[in-house]
A and B are shown apart, each in its own frame.
Chain A
Amino acid sequence: MTQASAYRDPAVAAKLLARIRATAARAGRTITLMEVCGTHTMAIHEHGLRGLLPEKIRLVSGPGCPVCVTPVDYVDQALALCRLPGTIITTFGDMVRVPGSQTSLLEEKARGADIRIVYSALDAVNLARHTPERQLVFLGVGFETTAPTVAGAILQAQQAKLDNFSVLCAHKTMPTPMQTLSADPDLQVDGYLCPAHVSAIIGADAYTELTARYHVPCVVTGFEPLDILQGVDMLVTQIAAGIATVENQYRRYVKNAGNPRAQQLLARVFEPCDARWRGLGLIAGSGLRIRDAYSSFDADQRFRVTVAPTVEPAGCRCGEILKGKLGPRDCPLFGQSCTPATPVGACMVSSEGTCAAEYKYGV
């Protein structure tokens, strides 16, 4: 049995599901669990897990897709930068399709702007090294999993004394938005499947305060089907017993204290800042900005471009969907004017968005 198939054994899945059914029946009420990672959203759909769980367990998707929660004016700023002569925009693939107020990076690329999809921020640094006559801007979007890689790229650019590499930074952090959601009296989340690879960096202990303050169980959960079912089993067991604690299902990769070297990278290059989340609004201390010591690598400091304030598209329900209050099919635009080919709202834009996943896998 290979390593991967051991985490996908249908016989174990059946037993876990029977346990979950029995425990959920004991709890005797509808249980709402939120996954806060786009990769979980995709894995849950891909393996058809929602349909396997008892009806009394609702799985809802939270603000776990960094592309989805990035405000439109950030995209507008990237668009303004791509129009500056001599600039190359480098980005992860997900960002290019996100509609700004007028256009998207992909449309600008079709019109001749130099926009390149890279696999790693280090690829952007290498490109800067080989094109000294051009200004390279990397779009720094992502949670704690991704932010240290961008910190590493900035340090590498500094070491190489590059003066043509900078980052347009919109990094965001967990678990602050989960606290915001749990503080919302309109919102009932009974337990969180915590983002696994974010947790590899920040550690399982990062959720202790959330659990203590809101009495909500948190389970750091891996991405294989058995990981997710076991994570659900652990949450439902806590809920049925009336306890709320942090558990770690993904111990093979996640330590309680996280990855100290990655945390040092983050702290060296970035500092916490207030950040706006599409759909959730301004959340204090939920973002990262580039420290003044590295301001020459901050595209926002290096290039002064102004963008007009933006408004969310009319009729779009992404705000409520990102909070798990509504499902994609509750939105009047879903599948009509808003599709993966022509996304209107944030949740349809990224392939990992709640609406994009529902559109792809929903039946």
Chain B
Amino acid sequence: MCLAVPMQIMEIDQDNALCAVDGVRRNASLMMLDDAKVGDFVLIHAGFAIEKLDPREAEKTLEMFRAIAAQEQAEP
């Protein structure tokens, strides 16, 4: 039930954002966010943007995955 979908903000009209992912477009309320901008990725749950993607943290996680992939296979 707590499903949320990452979408990108395309347009902002006051507290309302038009968001898109893979060709799907939806309106979402920005009531829960302070400083959302066009181009931001946000988590959409039940018609609300509940949080903004932190791109630096996302990059850190992906960097960690790349480092894991590059590791020699560790044996117990």
Residues of A within 8 A of B (CB): 3, 6-7, 9, 11-12, 15-16, 18-19, 21-22, 25-26, 37-39, 65-67, 92, 94, 119-123, 141-143, 145-146, 148-149, 152, 195-198, 200-201, 226, 230, 249, 251-254, 259, 261-262, 265, 350, 352
Contact = CB atoms under 8 A, between A and B. Distances in A.
21 contacts: A66-B2, A67-B1, A92-B46, A94-B1, A121-B46, A122-B48, A123-B47, A142-B2, A143-B1, A145-B50, A146-B1, A149-B46, A152-B29, A195-B2, A197-B50, A230-B61, A251-B57, A252-B55, A261-B31, A265-B31, A352-B1
B43 A200 contact: yes
A253 B73 CA distance: 30
Given A92-B1, A120-B47, 20 more contacts: A3-B6, A6-B62, A22-B76, A39-B2, A66-B2, A67-B1, A121-B46, A121-B47, A142-B1, A143-B2, A145-B45, A145-B50, A152-B29, A197-B45, A200-B4, A200-B43, A230-B65, A252-B57, A259-B33, A265-B32
Contact of B58 (A25, A39, A92, A252): A252
A122 B1 contact: no
Interface in B13-33: 29, 31-33
Nearest to B42: A253
A149 B71 contact: no
A123 B73 CA distance: 51
Which has the most chain A C-beta neighbours within 10 Å: B29, B45, B68? B68
Interface residues of B, number: 36
Nearest to B53: A252
Contacts of B50: 145, 148-149, 197, 200-201, 259, 262
Contacts of B6: 3
A21 B75 CA distance: 9
Contact of B46 (A119, A251, A261): A119
Instruction: Rank and list the top 8 A-B pairs by shortest CB-CB distance, nearest first.
Output: A120-B47, A252-B58, A22-B76, A251-B57, A145-B2, A197-B2, A252-B57, A200-B51
A261 B33 contact: yes
Contacts of B51: 200-201, 253-254, 259
Contacts, number: 130
Contacts of A39: 1-3
B70 to A, nearest CB: 9
Given A12-B69, A18-B74, A94-B1, A148 B47 contact: no
Contacts of A143: 1-2
B43 to A, nearest CB: 6
A18 B75 CA distance: 8
A220 to B, nearest CB: 12
Contact of A262 (B32, B47, B68, B76): B32
Given A11-B69, A195-B2, A251 B47 contact: no
A18 B73 contact: yes
A26 B76 contact: yes
A150 B38 CA distance: 25
Contacts of A259: 32-33, 50-51
